[in-house]
């Protein structure tokens, strides 16, 4: 039977049969899935989805190796109880071209070996793009989790990754209604579903565990609402010495107690620009190594404010009703700004200082990001699709 199905598949590929049609004909109820992850936020997104998929389907998990330090990778697998990757491509760091190219070669090989019915990709990293290209060129269905987000800033490598991945994905699972609207404006309508955000699933699933297991508040001797949490790693900021100088000056000037888990990329640039000494001498900033997901949840929940240039952290701040100051000119999570809980300050010295001092929203919030059932919705949609 297996042999016959695979033979059919080879025939379909040769004759350019639509991958979605093949998904229906071949799989029956159980799907064989290859999931591609590689960078820190993808481990968080994949955790609830993988759990939901594995209840009824077979998943082969691929780690591209984009993030490789213990505290950027392994700790997430341990804490979130994500099964060990079946394959680690070990691509490591490098230029965008080298990193993506190495991933492409590795993923293509795995798809040829595993012959999956569908390939899952997450978010907007180079691992996302490589997964989308490799699978679609082999005429395998691509499911993009967190589809449709746009910053409309093509200076961001993530924006290029999103646009490309969405163009060639078969199933586009959108976290928000605005993401569905973004795709519609680009003429992408087929296969688009509003599912809610899998990061909210993860937050709801792991918040209680974080409360029980994380000792970070005691370890750092922190009190509720008595510190500001800072994250900073976007290329737009880190790769510009002018932006980094403005940000560092603003943080030092505000004299607030700031906790700063430092991403390895940021550390590299702070050293290069000679700003590390200024930060560590300032007295109000505590620089710590990158932290785990459970520790991050606790630090976010108890922060007075969060200053960040991350995507996911903006939503987590909104979820915990913590004012968020975003050091970017735009955001994909527009609802957080529209509701008044997030303010965009770029890398502007004055705006950062003022927001840290004065930004205190108290407006009503809405359930823009779903109710924690996004992973379940994704599974149900695919299962319905197979049977239809
Ligand atoms: C990547 C994603 C970004 C995501 C972020 C989450 C792309 C284009 N960017 O950015 O969307 O928000 O992950 O963290 O895919 N490094 C280490 N150890 C590691 C990983 C990285 O030291 O385990 C250092 C290396 O010096 C590397 C640099 O960090 O050159 C940047 O890593 P890279 O994977 O290129 O991108 P991120 O900045 O992490």
Written as one string, the DSSP assignment of 78-105 is HHTTPPPPSEE----S--HHHHHHHHHH
Query: What pLDDT is stored for residue 130 in this prediction?
Result: 98
Q: Which residue has its alpha carbon closest to ligand 1 atom 16?
A: 264
Q: What is the mean pLDDT of residues 226-239?
A: 97
Ligand 1 centroid from CA 31, angstroms: 31
Ligand 1 centroid from CA 234, angstroms: 9
Q: Which atom of ligand 1 is nearest to the CA of 41?
A: 6
Is 207-358 in the same CATH topology as 2-196+373-387? yes
Query: What pLDDT is stored for residue 386 in this prediction?
Result: 82
Dump pLDDT digits (tens) for 254-312. Answer: 999 999 999 999 999 999 999 999 998 999 999 999 999 999 999 999 999 999 999 99
Query: What single-letter DSSP state applies at residue 192?
Result: E
Query: What pLDDT is stored for residue 23 in this prediction?
Result: 76
Q: Which residue has its alpha carbon closest to ligand 1 atom 7?
A: 125
Q: CB of 241 within 8 A of CB of 274?
A: no
Which pLDDT band holds residue 387 (cuts at 50, 70, 90)? confident
Number of other CB atoms surrounding residue 218 within 10 Å: 8
**Whether CATH 3.30.230.10 fits 207-358:** no
Dump pLDDT digits (tens) for 328-376. Answer: 999 999 999 999 999 999 999 999 999 999 999 999 999 999 999 999 9
Q: CB of 216 within 8 A of CB of 299?
A: yes
Ligand 1 centroid from CA 49, angstroms: 23
Helix (H) or strand (E) holding 362: none
238 φ, ψ to 5°? -65, -35
Q: What is the mean pLDDT of residues 47-59?
A: 97
- Of the candidates 149, 151, 103, the one whose C-alpha atom is nearest the C-alpha of residue 128 is 103
Fold of 2-196+373-387: Rossmann fold (3.40.50)
Given a cut of 90, whether residue 6 has pLDDT beyond it is: no
Q: Which residue has its alpha carbon closest to ligand 1 atom 3?
A: 125
Dump pLDDT digits (tens) for 123-175. Answer: 999 999 999 999 999 999 999 999 999 999 999 999 999 999 999 999 999 99
CA distance 197 to 180: 13
Ligand 1 centroid from CA 265, angstroms: 6
Query: What pLDDT is stored for residue 18 in this prediction?
Result: 78
For ligand 1, mutation pick of 125, 163, 293, 311 (most atoms within 8 Å of CB)? 125
Q: Is 79 in the pocket of ligand 1 (CB under 6 A)?
A: no
Query: What pLDDT is stored for residue 5 in this prediction?
Result: 53
CA distance 303 to 147: 29
Dump pLDDT digits (tens) for 163-219. Answer: 999 999 999 999 999 999 999 999 999 999 999 999 999 999 999 999 999 999 999
Ligand 1 centroid from CA 148, angstroms: 22
Q: Which residue has its alpha carbon closest to ligand 1 atom 27?
A: 93
Which pLDDT band holds residue 9 (cuts at 50, 70, 90)? low
Dump pLDDT digits (tens) for 79-124. Answer: 999 999 999 999 999 999 999 999 999 999 999 999 999 999 999 9
Just list the catalytic residues: 233
Q: Where are the domains of the chain?
A: 2-196+373-387, 207-358
Q: What is the mean pLDDT of residues 318-326?
A: 98
Q: Which atom of ligand 1 is nearest to the CA of 68?
A: 23
Number of other CB atoms surrounding residue 3 within 10 Å: 7
Q: What is the mean pLDDT of residues 228-235?
A: 98
Dihedral sign (CA 97, 100, 106, 111) = negative
Query: What pLDDT is stored for residue 1 in this prediction?
Result: 46
Q: Is 268 in the pocket of ligand 1 (CB under 6 A)?
A: yes
Q: Is 267 in the pocket of ligand 1 (CB under 6 A)?
A: no
Q: What is the mean pLDDT of residues 59-71?
A: 97
Q: Is 66 in the pocket of ligand 1 (CB under 6 A)?
A: yes
Query: What pLDDT is stored for residue 15 in this prediction?
Result: 58
3-state secondary structure of 59: strand
Given a cut of 80, whether residue 76 has pLDDT beyond it is: yes
């Amino acid at each position: 039977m297996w042999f016959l199905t695979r033979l059919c598949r080879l025939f379909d590929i040769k004759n350019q049969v639509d991958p979605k049609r093949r998904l229906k004909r071949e799989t029956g109820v159980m799907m064989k899935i290859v999931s591609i992850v590689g960078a820190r936020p993808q481990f968080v997104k994949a955790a609830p989805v993988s759990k939901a998929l594995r209840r009824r389907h077979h998943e082969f998990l691929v780690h591209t190796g984009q993030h490789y330090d213990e505290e950027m990778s392994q700790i997430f697998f341990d804490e979130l109880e994500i099964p060990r990757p079946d394959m680690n491509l070990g691509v490591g760091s490098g230029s965008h071209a080298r990193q993506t190219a190495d991933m492409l070669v590795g993923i293509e090989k795995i798809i040829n070996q595993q012959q999956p019915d569908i390939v899952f990709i997450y978010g907007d990293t180079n691992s996302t793009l490589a997964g989308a290209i490799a699978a679609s060129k082999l005429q395998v269905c691509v499911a993009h989790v967190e589809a449709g987000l746009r910053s409309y800033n093509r200076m961001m490598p993530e924006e290029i990754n999103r646009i490309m991945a969405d163009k060639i994905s078969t199933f586009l699972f959108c976290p928000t209604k605005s993401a569905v609207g973004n795709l519609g404006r680009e003429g992408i309508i087929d296969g688009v579903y509003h599912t809610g955000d899998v990061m909210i699933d993860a937050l709801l699933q792991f918040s209680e565990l974080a409360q029980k297991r994380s000792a970070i508040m005691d370890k750092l001797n922190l009190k509720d609402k008595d510190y500001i949490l800072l994250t900073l790693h976007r290329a737009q900021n880190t790769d510009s010495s002018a932006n980094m100088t403005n940000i560092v000056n603003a943080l030092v000037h505000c004299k607030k107690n700031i906790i700063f888990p430092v991403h390895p990329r940021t550390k590299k640039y702070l050293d290069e620009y000679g700003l590390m000494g200024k930060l560590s001498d300032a007295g109000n900033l505590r620089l710590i190594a990158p932290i785990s997901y459970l520790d991050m949840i606790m630090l976010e929940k108890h922060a007075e404010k969060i200053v960040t240039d991350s995507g996911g952290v903006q939503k987590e701040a909104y979820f915990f009703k913590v004012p968020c100051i975003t050091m970017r000119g735009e955001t994909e999570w527009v609802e957080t700004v529209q509701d008044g809980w997030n303010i965009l300050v770029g890398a502007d010295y004055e705006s950062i200082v003022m927001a840290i001092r004065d930004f205190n929203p108290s407006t009503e919030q809405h359930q823009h990001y779903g109710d924690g059932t996004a992973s379940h919705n994704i599974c149900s949609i695919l299962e319905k699709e197979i049977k239809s």
